[in-house]
A and B are shown apart, each in its own frame.
Chain A
Amino acid sequence: MGGLWENLSLGFGVAFSVSNLLFCFIGVLIGTITGVLPGIGPVGAISLLFPLTYGMHPVTSIIMLAGIYYGAQYGGSTTSILVNIPGEASSVVTCLDGYQMAKQGRAGPALGIAAFGSFIAGTIGIIFVMVLAFPLSEMGVKFGPPEYFSLATLALSIVIYLAQGPTLKAMIMAVLGVALSQVGMDIMTSKAKFTFGIPALLEGIGLVPLAMGLFGIGEVLSNFEQPEGIKIYEEKIESILPTLRDWKESIGAILRGTFLGFPLGVIPGGGAVIASFVSYAVEKRVSKHPEKFGTGAIEGVAGPESANNAGSTGSFIPLFTLGIPSNAVTALLLGGLIIHGMSPGPLLIKRNPELFWGTIASMYIGNVMLLILNLPLIGLWVKLLKVPYRILYPFILFFCVIGAYSINYSSFDVMLMFIFGGVGYLFRKFQYEPAPLIMAFIMGSMLENSLRQSLAMSTGDLSIFITRPISVTCLAIALFLLISPVFFKKRVQASH
């Protein structure tokens, strides 16, 4: 364990540099704002700020983008409790008891316990990441291209399986994502693939135009259907500090939420959203007074809010140890690492210790910053909610246009984003989740490379995937997950 302290001090050394502190703060601040504003989620915010990070040091950019992600989990709870509108999908369940508490004049303790729960869960989650990441990446080093291909296939299959709605729809989105990732010049033969004679497509479809279109513009357009003029809980918030009794009632829920949420975050396709739902269900089941849930039980706020933070921390594990994203946000971070010339994978922690440990250390610092940002400044966030959406959304669209333009100074990228925006809107209307698409898009080139390397190893013999034990296990599970909905109803949705 001696190495752990050495690494941690390296990490804090990186994270405490002035620029990293500043961008960590900017990240958690933007994260809180996107969490509070219902119009835009963390994926949209990260794709909006993506172009800004191109000029930064890779560590700094990942620190900032990660800050947006876990910061949004904090901010999302504020709107759930005060307005009964979840800022993020992961705060949907917080509405149930949080808003009831606010109606009973207990908005303060609800906000307080949500922030403290998030802090505790975030901190414990970071410790898990530290302890687990190294052994997992050691294991990953032993993986060859066939194992890697099968593991990535499995990860994508789990994402498809856990996606909301029919598995077929998620599968269509994932296939579309892989297809889009293939556009451009082939890296081995330099031949143009699927460019349809458009020279601008030789470099491939950019991650930023795609993500901004699907998550930024698509989300803005579909938000027009939400009724305007939300009612805000106006009464003065007396004390945000939970009482001793509140703590007694919720400490168990916070710890259970943490230990449940973290592994759910590690699983691809899991992450913060599922963690919060599962935690609520568990709290209701273990409670001595389940009838109180839905009428303002503090455990119903503490559990899910802790779980979603632990989950979002957990989703960094597959990203850093194997280079496999577990949700759309970590997929974007993976894209960021690739753009900065890093090669994500099991060797990342060894080759770039300052990146891994610096990010981890920044998450500790970020969690403290979030606690300070969220508790005393809660009134400010409530005011932010009062900015009408019709004034807010032109700015979001404006940032999308500037962001997409600034990468290559190309109008083509902006047009591409506009088209994906329209497509993204239709996806939302017909309930096709864009998350599997963006993940498959980012994993597409990785899948292709490992497939090619494997086939080069076996001189074109496909049996290499089924003669190696790890590879065949992964593929078998993947196949089972993909065809199981034909035979069984999706269990994730049928239970609870």
Chain B
Amino acid sequence: MFSSFLEGLKKGENEKAREIWRNVNWRKLSWTFLALGGYILLFKPIGFVLSTFLFFFSVLYSLAKPRKWLAPLVISGCAAGLGYIVFYICLGVELPKGILLF
């Protein structure tokens, strides 16, 4: 039982090397990775609320199947707002203010 699972995971060494990158969704992967990197870089300079909003929006908008902007906009706004309430007000995490007043 165990071995059949592992074989499914392992395959032959050569075949594996070619297959490793076959199923990669490059667009999604690179976009997410860049958005996350950008988020981390902007986190302190422009502040928590703005950077969080931009991060969520960039990821959700770019990867939504039919290009919609309303739902990503609402989710991003909620995430930034709720994140601010939960972490800053409830849990007392000192979040960077950045260029905004809060």
Contact = CB atoms under 8 A, between A and B. Distances in A.
B20 A429 contact: yes
A431 B93 CA distance: 36
Contact of B37 (A402, A409, A418, A493): A418
Interface of B: 1-3, 5-6, 9-10, 20-21, 23-25, 28-29, 32-33, 36-37, 39-40, 43-44, 52, 55-56, 59-60, 63-64, 75, 79, 83, 87, 91, 93-94
A398 B56 contact: yes
Nearest to A229: B65
B93 A496 contact: no
Interface in A445-496: 492-496
A281 B2 contact: yes
A251 interface: no
Given A391-B75, A492-B2, A225 B40 contact: no
25 contacts: A92-B5, A164-B6, A165-B10, A221-B32, A224-B25, A224-B28, A225-B23, A225-B24, A277-B2, A390-B60, A393-B32, A394-B79, A398-B83, A402-B83, A405-B43, A405-B93, A411-B40, A411-B43, A411-B44, A414-B40, A421-B36, A430-B20, A431-B9, A495-B2, A496-B1
Interface in A387-414: 390-391, 393-395, 397-398, 401-402, 405-406, 409, 411, 414
A391 B91 CA distance: 24
Interface string A79-100: 0000000000000110000000
A414 B44 CA distance: 11
A59 interface: no
Interface residues of A, number: 40
A398 B55 contact: yes
Contacts of B24: 224-225
Contacts of A422: 33
Contacts of A402: 83, 87, 93
Interface in A427-448: 429-431
Nearest to A410: B44
A280 interface: yes
B82 to A, nearest CB: 10
A494 B3 contact: yes
Contact of A401 (B3, B9, B39): B39
Given A224-B25, A402-B87, A164 B39 contact: no
Interface string A198-239: 000000000000000000010011001100000000000000
B91 A284 contact: no
Given A418-B36, A429-B21, A431-B10, 20 more contacts: A224-B25, A277-B2, A277-B5, A390-B60, A390-B63, A394-B56, A394-B59, A397-B36, A397-B39, A398-B56, A398-B79, A401-B36, A401-B40, A401-B43, A411-B40, A411-B44, A418-B37, A493-B3, A495-B3, A496-B1
A339 interface: no
Nearest to A96: B1
Contacts of B33: 221, 422
Among B40, B79, B91, the one with the most A-chain Cβ atoms within 10 Å of its Cβ is: B40
A172 interface: no
B27 to A, nearest CB: 10
A492 B40 CA distance: 42
A496 B40 contact: no
B25 A225 contact: yes
Contacts of B59: 394, 397
Contacts of B9: 164, 431
B6 to A, nearest CB: 6
A10 interface: no
A92 to B, nearest CB: 7
A61 to B, nearest CB: 14
Contacts of A93: 1
Contact of B29 (A224, A391, A405): A224
Q: Which 5 A-B pairs have the closest CB atoms?
A: A496-B2, A225-B23, A406-B93, A394-B59, A224-B25
A368 interface: no
Nearest to B16: A431
A495 B4 CA distance: 11
Given A165-B10, A496-B2, A394 B55 contact: yes
A52 interface: yes
A369 interface: no
A342 interface: no
Nearest to A494: B3
B6 A493 contact: yes
A431 B60 CA distance: 29
Contacts of A52: 91
B62 to A, nearest CB: 10
A185 interface: no
Contacts of B3: 493-496
Contacts of B5: 92, 277
A415 interface: yes
